[in-house]
């Protein structure tokens, strides 16, 4: 039996033991070769949401250096819109994305999750925002204690932010700022 076929312009390989292998009659046991190769490079299975992109846009070039993992289909669509608008993937985008093969896997500076999308040193815009904060925030317990002892305005001055920022910090802990009042 031939162990390689073409499926939607991509190379498919016969791996009936693979958990992501197709179960349809015509493709029973077959998987996309590029997904299999990147899984081997990563040392883990890809999630259903993750998409593998060929940097040179050649669907048959499954060299691991030519493959990158994107977090989801929306990211892949955005990448193709960027390419269609004249973006140079090989020279520009590869410097900003993880290629995984033969290189260290960059981790987010904040949460240490692997960076798989175009956020530079961060896994998401949320982590980027956390890193760009002007001041380190206190823990929930410390914040409540401070508010109860000196009030929102003084806590804001202490951290060089507004009292409204302190209220937002309280909300970020899932608490209602109106429930926390300065003790008299």
pLDDT at res. 95:
44
**Cβ–Cβ < 8 Å for 63, 129:** no
> How many helices (H) and strands (E) are present in the chain, helices listed first?
6, 5
pLDDT at res. 106:
64
Integer Cα distance of 47 and 158 in angstroms: 45
Q: What is the pTM of this model?
A: 0.49
Integer Cα distance of 62 and 170 in angstroms: 49
Integer Cα distance of 160 and 134 in angstroms: 8
SS3 label, residue 131? helix
Closest CA to 167 of 183, 145, 144: 144
Question: What mean pLDDT comes out for the span 63-90?
Answer: 78
Q: Looking at the predicted structure, is the pLDDT value of residue 13 above 90? A: yes
Integer Cα distance of 37 and 49 in angstroms: 17
Q: Looking at the predicted structure, is the pLDDT value of residue 109 above 80? A: no
pLDDT at res. 93:
45
More confident residue, 11 or 109: 11
Question: What mean pLDDT comes out for the span 139-145?
Answer: 91
* Confidence label for 128 from pLDDT (cuts 50, 70 and 90): confident
Q: Looking at the predicted structure, is the pLDDT value of residue 36 above 70? A: yes
Tokens of 102: 């033969």
pLDDT at res. 37:
92
Using alpha carbons, list the distances in angstroms from residue 36 to 59, 69, 80, 95, 159.
14, 12, 22, 23, 50
Question: What mean pLDDT comes out for the span 58-82?
Answer: 85
Instruction: Give me the percent of the chain exceeding a pLDDT of 90.
Output: 34
Q: pLDDT digit string (tens) for 153-182? A: 999 998 888 999 999 999 988 999 999 888
Question: What mean pLDDT comes out for the span 3-19?
Answer: 91
């Amino acid at each position: 039996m031939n162990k390689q076929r073409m499926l939607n312009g991509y190379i498919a390989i016969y791996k009936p033991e693979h958990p992501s292998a197709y179960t349809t009659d015509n493709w029973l046991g077959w998987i996309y070769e590029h997904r299999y190769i990147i899984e081997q490079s990563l040392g883990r299975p890809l999630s259903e949401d993750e998409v593998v992109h060929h940097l040179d846009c050649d669907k048959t070039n499954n060299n691991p250096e030519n493959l990158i993992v994107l977090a989801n289909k929306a990211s892949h669509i955005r990448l193709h819109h960027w390419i269609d608008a004249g973006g140079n993937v090989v020279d520009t985008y590869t410097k900003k994305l993880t290629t995984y093969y033969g290189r260290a896997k960059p981790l987010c500076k904040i949460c240490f999750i692997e960076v798989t999308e175009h956020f530079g040193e961060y896994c998401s815009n949320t982590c980027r925002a956390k890193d760009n904060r002007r001041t380190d925030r206190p823990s929930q317990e410390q914040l409540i204690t401070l508010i109860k002892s000196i009030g929102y305005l003084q806590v804001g001055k202490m951290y060089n932010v507004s009292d409204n920022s302190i209220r937002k910090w309280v909300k970020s802990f899932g608490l209602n700022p109106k429930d926390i009042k300065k003790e008299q």
